[in-house]
């Protein structure tokens, strides 16, 4: 069910929105709705990424004195021998 929403925008922004809506055969209301749906989708994707990171967090325990550069040099040396 659609409901009304009143927005207060700068006059220039309104003209831009109306022109864009007309050029895309849409309405300003449809543009605003698509924008908010896109924001929600971005938030859902960010939440999913955060969830995945928290799930794998702590899976690998790296020693405090681990030297990644030495390990990298050793791996490259073994690879190209």
- Please write the tens of the pLDDT for every residue from 26-69: 999 999 999 999 999 999 888 888 888 777 877 788 888 999 99
pLDDT tens, position by position, 6-26: 999 999 999 999 999 999 999
Give the residue extent of every domain in the chain: 11-79
31-64 as b/e: b if 16+ CB within 10 A: eeeeeeeeeeeeeeeeeeeeeeeeeeeeeeeeee
Which pair of tokens denotes residue 3? 């409901």
Q: What is the pTM of this model?
A: 0.58
Return the biggest CA–CA distance within the chain.
Answer: 71
3-state secondary structure at position 8: coil
């Amino acid at each position: 069910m659609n409901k009304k929403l009143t927005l207060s925008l700068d006059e220039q922004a309104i003209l831009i929105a109306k022109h864009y809506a007309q050029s895309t055969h849409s309405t300003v209301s449809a543009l605003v709705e698509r924008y908010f749906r896109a924001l929600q989708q971005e938030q859902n994707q960010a939440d999913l990424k955060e969830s995945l990171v928290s799930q794998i967090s702590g899976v690998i325990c790296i020693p405090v004195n681990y030297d990644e550069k030495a390990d990298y040099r050793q791996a490259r040396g073994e690879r190209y021998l």
